[in-house]
Amino acid sequence: MTNMNKIVVLGNSGFIGKYLYDKLSIQYKTYGLSSVECNLLNIDEVKKTLVVLKKNDILILCSSITRLMENSIESMNKNILMAQNIALVINNIKIKQLIFLSTIDVYGVNIIDEYISEDTQLNPYDYYATSKVVSEFILRKVCKENNINLFIARLSGVYGHGDKNKSTIYALVSSAIKNKKIILYNKGLDSRDFISIEYLFNIILNSIKINYDGTLNIATGQSFTIKDIAYIIKKLSGDSIEIVYKKEDLNSRVNDIKFNISKLRDSKLLNKKVDFNESINKYIRNYCES
């Protein structure tokens, strides 16, 4: 790490970006920029603001118009434009490493493989997922041309401190604590592989340490049904919690998500075991204390 100058986190006012910025600042010289400090849609502003980037720096791109914010042609084009502008800047600077936060939604809803891996065919099904596929292509091309290591982290659902109204885990825990009930759709049989923000940070931190280059699905390899998660929350927060089943949610995207994380295990970025019950218990305690 002696030849690394600093880390720049774009999107440090969001849930994930803020957590990464706060934690990385403890160990490294870290700059955080939100859309207020740097409008990634304006190339002149991007060039002016990112003049702080030098050859051996690391850039983490967390900024994005998420599906929860907007999912339209306009938001898709804006996300792609952000990637284009970043590509133009790093093309001239030739930084050491770029870390881009993508999504497992790039695989789409009609997944043939029983377990999703990095070799699963890409099949984005909406504007948001499409913007990530195109952005990955743009950044991969500019990084290859300039010998910049690119770590594309395709995230499954992330939860943790600061995720208010931004994760399924928050919705389930919030309903359990506030309303003493958890509402489940599709009989709660949809399965998910959620990751804690601490788990993600550990992977990002290790990727910086070894200057990782490649694309990885960031998951735990352990999928739980929403029903299972609801009952874990019920057990940890009190048996007075009621589980309520409602009619099928027609907006449900993927019924069953399971990952083959052998490539992640082989990457040397994992060095901590995951205990989902322990992680949810910690989440509930933090929620009640906040």
Output the domain CATH number for residue 243: 3.90.25.10
Residue 136: count of CB within 10 angstroms of its CB? 20
CA 1, CA 29: separation in Å to the nearest integer? 12
Would residue 261 count as lying in a domain?
no
CATH of the domain at 34: 3.40.50.720
What is the span of the domain harbouring residue 245? Answer: 160-192+223-256+275-289
Give residue 242's identity as a one-letter amino acid code: E
Residue position matching structure tokens 């299972």: 228
Say if 139 falls within a structural domain: yes
pLDDT of 195-232, one tens digit each?
999 999 999 999 999 999 999 999 999 999 999 999 99
On whether both 56 and 107 belong to a single domain, the answer is: yes
The helices-and-strands tally (H runs, E runs) of the chain is 9, 12
- CA 59-62-63 angle, to 5 degrees, is 110
- pTM of the shown model: 0.93
User: With bands split at pLDDT 50, 70 and 90, how would you rate the model's confidence at 249?
Assistant: low
**83-129 pLDDT, tens digit each:** 999 999 999 888 999 999 999 999 987 666 689 999 999 999 999 99
Structural domain contains residue 268: no
Q: Does residue 109 fall inside a structural domain?
A: yes
**Residue 77, H or E segment:** helix 73-93
Q: Which pLDDT value is given to residue 1?
A: 42
Let me know if residue 269 belongs to a domain: no
State what percent of residues in the chain have pLDDT above 90.
78
Q: Report the b/e string of 188-211 with b at 16+ CB within 10 A.
A: bebbbbbbbbebbbbbbbbbbeee
Which residues, at least 6 apart from 243, have a Cβ–Cβ distance to it below 8 Å? 181, 182, 184, 188, 227, 230, 231, 234
- Across 61-75, 134-148, 238-252, which has the greatest mean pLDDT? 134-148
Residue 2: predicted pLDDT:
45
Taking only the tens place, the pLDDT of each residue in 126-164 is 999 999 999 999 999 999 999 999 999 999 999 998 898
Residues 160-171, mean pLDDT to the nearest whole number: 90
- Both tokens of residue 197? 């923000």
Using DSSP's 3-state secondary structure scheme, residue 258 falls into coil
The per-residue pLDDT of the chain, averaged, comes to: 91
